[in-house]
Amino acid sequence: MARYGRDRGRIEADQTQAKEHALRKKILALFTWDTRRPLDCETVAADLIETFPEVDPGETKPGQINYHLAVLKDAQLLPG
C-alpha cells in the first residue's frame, strides 16, 4: 500500500503525526486493549461506535477507516 507521500526515513515524524488525529487515537486504543482484534474496516467501525459513544457514525465510513488504518500501519503503529 502506498505511504501517502511520506518519507520512509522519517518514521518518528510519521508516528507523531499519526497519533495527532482523535479517531486514530481511538483505533490505537482498541488495538492496545485487544491485540488480536481484526483490523478490517467493518469490525473497527463497529467497535469504535460500541466502545466510544461520542464517535459520530459519519466518521466511520469505510473509506475513512481504511485511510486511518493505512496511516497507522505506514507509521508502524499497527501490524500490517
pTM to 2 decimal places: 0.80
Contact (CB, 8 A) for 4 and 70: yes
Domain that holds residue 33: 11-74
Contact (CB, 8 A) for 74 and 6: yes
Domain assignment of residue 80, yes or no: no
Domain assignment of residue 70, yes or no: yes
What DSSP state is assigned to residue 53?
T
pLDDT band at 13 (very low <50, low <70, confident <90, very high): low
Domain assignment of residue 1, yes or no: no
| Per-residue pLDDT reduced to its tens digit, 18-46 | 888 999 999 999 999 998 889 999 999 99
Domain assignment of residue 31, yes or no: yes
> What are 31's three cell numbers?
488495538
Q: How many domains is the chain built from?
A: 1
Domain assignment of residue 35, yes or no: yes
Of 64, 54, 67, the C-alpha closest to 4 is 67
Domain assignment of residue 69, yes or no: yes
